[in-house]
Amino acid sequence: MLDFARIFFILCTLVMSSSGIAAAKNNDIRIVIDVSGSMKKTDPANLRVSAMKLLNGLIPQGSKAGVWTFGRYVDMTVKWGKVDAKWRKLADLGAEEIHSNALFTNIESALDRAARGWDKSDPSTRRNLILLTDGRVDISKSVDKNAKSREAILNKSIKHLKKAGARVQAIALSDDADEVLLRRIALETGGSFEIASTASDLQKIFFKMFERATAPDTVRINDNQFKVDSSIKEMTLLVFRKPGSKSTKIFSPDGHRYSARKRGKSIWRSDEGYDLITIKKPAKGLWSIDADIDPDSRLMVVTDLGLNLADLPVNVLPGQELNIVAALYNKDKQISKNSFLRFVEFSIKHSDANGVETGNKLKHSRDRSRKGQYLYDFDGGFEEGIHSIVVTADSRTFSRSKRVDLNVQWPVEVLIKPAKEAGNYQFSLRAREEYIVPESLNATVNIESPDGKNYPLNLSFKENSWIASVETVQDGIYQAHVTIEAIDQAGVPVKFDLGKFSMIGVYKAPATESGSVDETTTGREDIVDGDIQETDSAEPDESELGIEADDSADWIMTTIIIGISNLVIVLVVGGVFLMLRRKSVSPELMLE
């Protein structure tokens, strides 16, 4: 069993409310973008500009926000302040100034500069820092200076961010980025980490980071339609268009059409791959979308009637339990009246790492002190990978949803790769440095064969991994049961039972000693209590067969009798076979 009371500090910093749900908070978003020269290669089309403009259009009105760019030095591209029409205009201009000409990659200074003013936590404000980089800490040609700057981030910058209650949402735009460092920053601050495989992924990843940072209320889109209720003051529709698709059009309940050319009272932002449409005081009723939309499209709303969830950790262990707590709020006040809630259904949809969806209903809490709260519990059993959870409150007149993405993984990476020979495998175990100290890792692996027998797997250390070869000799499922002990990055000893990892076994005949002859002529093997014992006789003992050496007449008679018996058996079996064959022939074949 997992010792969750001692789960590393990374997860312990993500405390969930046990008795209530915090009302909506103010947002303070700091955006930090790498403009070093290497970006010419990793973002040749400078898609950071369109991604930044998308984020600019998404940040809620009235939030606080600022944009910084960095290379060797850090520049405030868009002054930190209240988000309004003037700020958005400056942010669009600032996005156009994003380049790829700076020397070095001073991540330490970028984090420290952007976090100024975050000296202590503010419970009323949701603080997030979105960091995009394609490189490693690089402030000098001196390896020692770079190493010291990296250590300063781990020992000083992260502590400052944690003290301020700020979460870092980190994005790597290159395989050369310091993934361990970025993951560590995200994990320790309760944020998230994403890798943009290509620059074209940036738009969706920036949106994911925004969604994690602000947890907006959304309305479900079904078959390109959505319902607007009277409590919605403003709606923002983000349509990710599929490549080569036509431009987006939306239709109000009265049939009025909105498009990029015919905007009306809508605010329209369009770029390659997406349309972002904002409408204040949208008409009540059923709206429709005319576009080939991507499943990641969203309808976000500003409303007095909102759905809130108790904070959930972004980073989760496969065996960790999760408690979902949801409640509806009206003007920051939790709704608990049964006369209202009895018409509302709370449901949850879980998409696992393989994209398989399951749905369930949340149950109203029986605790009177938690009246109005709806609960659902996950008892662990998550597979490693990205999981998404969507909680929805639905009635005949309105719908509200919240989405949470979970990164599920163990503090070690287990890989089992097939070897060249069928039934053989290469087993490897690697510490994830963002969680645990690699040198402290102590793993125990037991192999269970299909017949239920167990034996330990001896691991050897090679190229930062613990490895071993596994050879199967039976058909069926072999399982590797893995348990580990280590020291986490906070210096706390931790233990984890990772469970069992399966391999398909292949039967292999037992090897014979070189020069041996078939056992029917050289001897035999007796099995006693599971052990094979070989007799040392070269030939069968005649007394064991009941044959006297000098009784040749009896021996000849016995041989004749056996021969006749075998002939009779062959004739009987052959006759039965012919009868059965005739009966099995279909009538059509017999007529031919």
**Tens-digit pLDDT profile for residues 258-276:** 999 999 999 999 988 899 9
Q: State mean pLDDT over 381-403.
A: 95
pLDDT band at 541 (very low <50, low <70, confident <90, very high): very low
**According to the model, what pLDDT value does residue 200 have?**
81
φ, ψ (nearest 5 deg) of residue 390: -120, 120
CA distance 394 to 411: 38
User: In this predicted model, what pLDDT tens digit does every residue of 505-534 receive, in sequence order?
Assistant: 999 988 765 544 444 333 333 333 334 344
Of 557, 455, 436, residue with least CA distance to 7: 436
573 or 49, which is more confident? 49
Which tokens sit at 471? 């050879």
pLDDT band at 14 (very low <50, low <70, confident <90, very high): very low
User: What is the DSSP code string of 424-458?
Assistant: EEEEEEEE-TTTB-GGG-EEEEEEE-TTS-EEEPP
138 or 200, which is more confident? 138
565 has a pLDDT exceeding 80: no
Of 287, 306, 288, residue with least CA distance to 232: 306
563 has a pLDDT exceeding 80: no
Q: State mean pLDDT over 426-438.
A: 95
**According to the model, what pLDDT value does residue 525 have?**
38
Three-state SS string over 118-140 comes to CCCCCCCEEEEEEEEECCCCECC
User: In this predicted model, what pLDDT tens digit does every residue of 283-304 receive, in sequence order?
Assistant: 999 999 999 989 999 999 999 9
Q: Which residues contact 320 (CB under 8 A, 6 or more apart)?
A: 2, 4, 7, 11, 380, 382
Whether the domain at 1-214 and the domain at 305-409 fall into the same CATH topology:
no
CA distance 382 to 409: 9
Domain range summary for the chain, segments of one domain joined by +: 1-214, 222-296, 305-409, 412-505
Q: Which residues contact 316 (CB under 8 A, 6 or more apart)?
A: 11, 322, 382, 387, 406, 407, 408
CATH code for the structural domain at 1-214: 3.40.50.410
Does the predicted TM-score (pTM) go above 0.95? Answer: no
Q: In what order do the strands lie in the sheet with 424-431?
A: 412-418, 424-431, 465-471, 460-462
Which tokens sit at 299? 């309808």
21 has a pLDDT exceeding 80: no
Residue type, 405: D
Q: State mean pLDDT over 22-46.
A: 91
115 has a pLDDT exceeding 80: yes
Mean pLDDT of all residues in the chain? 86
Q: Which CATH number fits domain 222-296: 2.60.40, 2.30.29, 1.10.520, 1.10.3470?
A: 2.60.40
393 has a pLDDT exceeding 70: yes
CATH code for the structural domain at 305-409: 2.60.40.10
φ, ψ (nearest 5 deg) of residue 456: -75, 150
Of 64, 93, 94, residue with least CA distance to 77: 94
In this structure, is the dihedral angle defined by the CA atoms of residues 97, 99, 103 and 109, taken in order, positive or negative?
A: positive
What is the 8-class DSSP label of residue 177? S
Which tokens sit at 456? 């330990």
**According to the model, what pLDDT value does residue 571 have?**
52
Q: What is the dihedral of CA 180, 67, 268, 60, to 10 degrees?
A: 90
**According to the model, what pLDDT value does residue 22 have?**
63
**According to the model, what pLDDT value does residue 197 have?**
84
19 has a pLDDT exceeding 90: no
Q: Which CATH number fits domain 412-505: 2.60.40.3340, 3.30.110.30, 1.10.510.10, 3.40.50.720?
A: 2.60.40.3340
**According to the model, what pLDDT value does residue 514 have?**
54
